[in-house]
Amino acid sequence: MANFKYFADINGETFELTKIRHNGRSASKASNFSGRTPDGELVPATRMIEFKSNPSKHVCDARCMNATGKIMKCECSCGGKNHGKGGYMAVAA
């Protein structure tokens, strides 16, 4: 059975969402889900990952941070928090 995790990137900080809701559309991409931050705020998901049931829990590296795709499969020690996050970071010139 797949174990999905949903995350929101807010002001440079990543939150794992709980109490996940789907908006009722047929698509299953991150933008169709929302959930609660630890302080209870309802926010849209910016990323979703499929966390393996028996992860190796290896240290995150560039493969994790720069992962792309509709469903990102993760088994890192971060539990998916850093997975694909490299695509959301910006550097000021």
In angstroms, the Cα distances linking 70 to 46, 67, 86 are 11, 10, 15
Q: What is the pLDDT of residues 15-39, one digit of tens each?
A: 999 999 999 888 778 889 999 999 9
CA separation for the pair 73, 67 (Å, rounded) = 9
AA letter at 23? N
The three-class DSSP label of residue 5 is: strand
pLDDT band at 69 (very low <50, low <70, confident <90, very high): low
Q: What is the pLDDT of residues 42-68, one digit of tens each?
A: 999 988 888 777 767 778 777 777 777
Contact between 73 and 50 under an 8 Å Cβ cutoff? The reply is yes
Q: Where are the domains of the chain?
A: 3-88
CA separation for the pair 42, 4 (Å, rounded) = 18
Two tokens, residue 85: 């996050």
